[in-house]
Amino acid sequence: MTQTHDSDDGPTDTTHSTDVDLEIDAASERDPLFARIPRRDFMKAGMAAGAVGAMGSLAGCTSILDRDGSVSIDDVDTDVAPGELDEYYAFLSGGHSGEVRVYGVPSMRQLMRIPVFSKESARGYGYDDETREMLEESGGYTWGDVHHPRVSQTDNEYDGRWLFVNDKANGRLARIDLTYFETDAIVDLPNQQGTHGACALMPDTKYIFGVGEFRVPLPNDGRNLDDPEEYTSVLSAVDPETMNPVFDVLVDGNMDNADSGKDGRWFFGTCYNSEEAVTESEMTRSDTDYVQAFDIPAIEDAVENGDYEEIDGVPVVDGTKDSSLNGGDSPIVHYIDVPSNPHGVTVTPDGSYAIASGKLDNTCSVIDIARLDEVDDLTDAIVGQPELGMGPLHTRYDDRGHAYTSLFIDSQVVKWDIERAVDSEPGSDEAVVDRIDVHYSPGHLNTSQSYTADPRGDWLISLNKHSMDRFLPVGPTFPVNDQLIYIGDDEEGMQLVKDTPGHPEPHDATIVHRDNIEPETVYDPDDLELDQIGLDETGIEREDGRVHVKMYNQRNHFGHDTVTVEEGDEVTITTTNIESAENIVHSLAIPQYDINVKTAPQETREVTFTADKPGVYWMYCAYFCSALHLEMRSRLLVEPKED
């Protein structure tokens, strides 16, 4: 069910923070608009300054780290000159491409693409035995739909260890190892079809949750085909180390997006289909749907006590409204009525509020998390409902008490003051501080470090679904438009900095300070399962129609000039890039056998195939590695079988 590949040793040794106390006197001192923001006197200013030097110079050296309150855009380097490095990594979901795209912020340069659910020959992904088996054993689908990239955290701060993503199309979750920027595990969730929301339980990434959007019979084995009221939707908890499912929670309605609280207790999901319907018109019939608040320790107790039914190997806990587990004083799932068809839900950096976006309603609902234990009527936990504009979808945060909500229909990002929303009447727009037009139809948006307890409040990316007139026409399928917006200046307001066209159709992003990520540039052989093939270990072993070819590769040749096998042999080639110099990548391509195995320095990979086509096949290096790259090739001779 779960397929992992090696490199499973401990967390990246991320340098943890020296707290730098920066006083934020901010706009609150000058602008009466801000008078009611409770002041946070100190912020944790991210990671140790000492780590910065290791990787080259910061863009223009103007980091928001150095600021005192809001900072004019004139004092921020928005361009990253050639040869300079970005301050942030942004991990963008690649949508149907089944990949994650890595950008630099603020340059918005695309740095890398990490294949997850689809094969990718440049990375050799899906072309060697290990990654091919990982894709096959997690369902064998040829594509996935990545929506939600989330980086693992320790103590509510990005720890640079893993990036988790969902596959909305096929009900899967995957893990990317951020030491090597490659996918190392995929789990096909047994009781879900369409895993939409994906995120981890904070503060320490105890579980990864896959959020089941599509209601289906459970198990989905042909029963109850046309009996929609018998369909179900589950929240699935997965262990981040093993990537095995731990438990499922059955809910009423469905689930869409989700986010975790900050203290390990609560997890929130939105439900747009409380009607439990199968058509759009029925799914929008009710005036209200839910935010589901999952009490995780209570659910763990239920699992511990055996209060579950095992389905497809996973303990399924009944969290529906009528469940006995929801009958007593400590229900495992709370159903909070919110206006019809909510979409995003996120928890504020201080862990106080869960904010759900209205989608069909012009408001967001601010849920006071502490009140969930106190109120009889859960709607009394909704302490604010600011009117924001048409089509609110997703909300993110800065470090100065503001929320930023995307408005799909209005094509805007609206900035609002959270405490002022709590203090004002429901439906009033008093909390709105600023609006900016985006181009066009934003889905998600994200701000730097904003899933952590310490967002930075400098950059926002608006991930717009439509680009219309913004770029040269490229046919009827338009690029999306990822816009970079500077949000660090409360007086001037939000400022549009950059348009970035993107291949359709991504969704979310996570923006992580570069000090929180420490990738290796050369493989550590101990992180790989396969033994290296050194200069003296080249050889060809034969046994009963099986041939094992061991060969290193380096500039500009392979360990064998010629490999001779017989038609019908099952051939395994193990190949090690024995270079220790950074940035020298080779591959072993045998296109007629659909093979292109990439090896980065010190990396070992293995590929197995049946030599069923007699003839001469050039095995060549498909990565431009040196002046004699074209000469880096060997022959595979497949002798015809004698009758």
Site for ligand CUA contains 445 (CB under 6 A): no
- Backbone φ and ψ for 560, nearest 5 degrees, come out as -125, 135
Please choose, out of 223-231, 239-247, 374-382, 616-624, the segment that lies near ligand CUA by the rule CB under 6 A. 616-624
Q: Which option in ligand CUA, Ca ion, ligand CUK, none does residue 67 bind, with CB closer than 5 to 8 A by kind?
A: none
Site for Ca ion contains 446 (CB under 5 A): no
d(CA 99, CA 634): 32
Q: Tokens in use for 336?
A: 């909070």
Residues in the chain, total: 643
Site for ligand CUA contains 625 (CB under 6 A): yes
| CB of residue 253 to Ca ion, shortest distance in Å | 8
| CB of residue 408 to ligand CUK, shortest distance in Å | 8
Total residues interacting with ligand CUA, rule: CB under 6 A: 7
Please choose, out of 1-9, 271-279, 369-377, 617-625, the segment that lies near ligand CUA by the rule CB under 6 A. 617-625
Site for Ca ion contains 341 (CB under 5 A): yes
Nearer to ligand CUK, 121 or 483 (CB): 483
Residues 240-279 as x/- pattern, contact with Ca ion by CB under 5 A = --------------------------------x-------
H or E, element range at 312: none
When binding is defined by CB under 6 A, the residue of 5, 334, 507, 598 that contacts ligand CUK is 507
3-class DSSP string for 59-79:
CCCCCHHHCCCCCCHHHCCCC
H or E, element range at 167: strand 157-167
Q: Which option in Ca ion, ligand CUA, ligand CUK, none does residue 341 bind, with CB closer than 5 to 8 A by kind?
A: Ca ion
Q: Are 121 and 114 in contact (CB under 8 A)?
A: no
Site for ligand CUK contains 259 (CB under 6 A): no
Q: Which option in Ca ion, ligand CUK, ligand CUA, none does residue 135 bind, with CB closer than 5 to 8 A by kind?
A: none
- Of 458, 442, 449, nearest to 507 by C-alpha is 442
Pick out residues in 553-592 that bind ligand CUA (CB under 6 A): 586
- Whose tokens are 């985006």? That residue is 438
| CB of residue 618 to ligand CUA, shortest distance in Å | 13
d(CA 68, CA 399): 12
Site for ligand CUA contains 371 (CB under 6 A): no
DSSP summary character for residue 425: P
Q: Which residue is nearest to ligand CUK (CB)?
A: 443
| CB of residue 556 to ligand CUK, shortest distance in Å | 46
Site for ligand CUA contains 629 (CB under 6 A): yes
Nearer to ligand CUK, 87 or 508 (CB): 508
User: What share of residues in the chain are helix, strand, coil (percent, to 5)?
Assistant: 10, 40, 50
Q: Which option in ligand CUA, ligand CUK, Ca ion, none does residue 108 bind, with CB closer than 5 to 8 A by kind?
A: none
When binding is defined by CB under 6 A, the residue of 200, 361, 623, 638 that contacts ligand CUA is 623
When binding is defined by CB under 6 A, the residue of 67, 101, 172, 343 that contacts ligand CUK is 343
- Of 492, 484, 424, nearest to 460 by C-alpha is 484
DSSP summary character for residue 498: E
d(CA 400, CA 459): 13
Q: Tokens in use for 536?
A: 């003296």
Site for ligand CUA contains 632 (CB under 6 A): yes
Residues 492-521 as x/- pattern, contact with ligand CUA by CB under 6 A = ------------------------------
Q: Tokens in use for 211?
A: 């959020």
Q: Which option in Ca ion, ligand CUK, ligand CUA, none does residue 289 bind, with CB closer than 5 to 8 A by kind?
A: Ca ion
Residues 394-423 as x/- pattern, contact with ligand CUK by CB under 6 A = x-----------------------------
Q: Which residues of 167-185 are buried (b: 16+ CB within 10 A; e: fewer)?
A: bbbbbbbbbbbbbbbbbbb
Residue 364: beta bridge partners? 357
Q: Tokens in use for 495?
A: 């400022």
Which residues are CB-neighbours of 130 under 8 A, at least 6 positions away?
Answer: 5, 6, 529, 605, 606
Strands of 385-479, DSSP E: 392-397, 402-407, 412-417, 432-437, 442-447, 459-464
d(CA 370, CA 506): 34
| CB of residue 507 to ligand CUK, shortest distance in Å | 3
| CB of residue 626 to ligand CUA, shortest distance in Å | 7
How many angstroms separate the first and last alpha carbons of the chain?
A: 42
| CB of residue 442 to ligand CUK, shortest distance in Å | 8
Please choose, out of 107-115, 167-175, 602-610, 624-632, the segment that lies near ligand CUA by the rule CB under 6 A. 624-632
Q: Tokens in use for 79?
A: 């361009």
Q: Which option in ligand CUK, ligand CUA, Ca ion, none does residue 334 bind, with CB closer than 5 to 8 A by kind?
A: none
Collapsed DSSP state (helix, strand, coil) of residue 139: coil
Torsion of CA 440, 442, 447, 450, to 10 degrees: 180
Pick out residues in 141-160 that bind ligand CUK (CB under 6 A): 147-148
Which residues are CB-neighbours of 415 under 8 A, at least 6 positions away?
Answer: 402, 403, 404, 432, 433, 434, 435, 436, 487, 493, 494
Q: Which residue is nearest to Ca ion (CB)?
A: 289
Residues 158-197 as x/- pattern, contact with ligand CUK by CB under 6 A = --------------------------------------x-
Q: How many CB atoms lie within 10 A of CB 640?
A: 11
d(CA 640, CA 107): 55
Binding site for ligand CUK (CB under 6 A): 147-148, 196, 257, 343-344, 393-394, 443-444, 507-508
Binding site for ligand CUA (CB under 6 A): 586, 621, 623-625, 629, 632
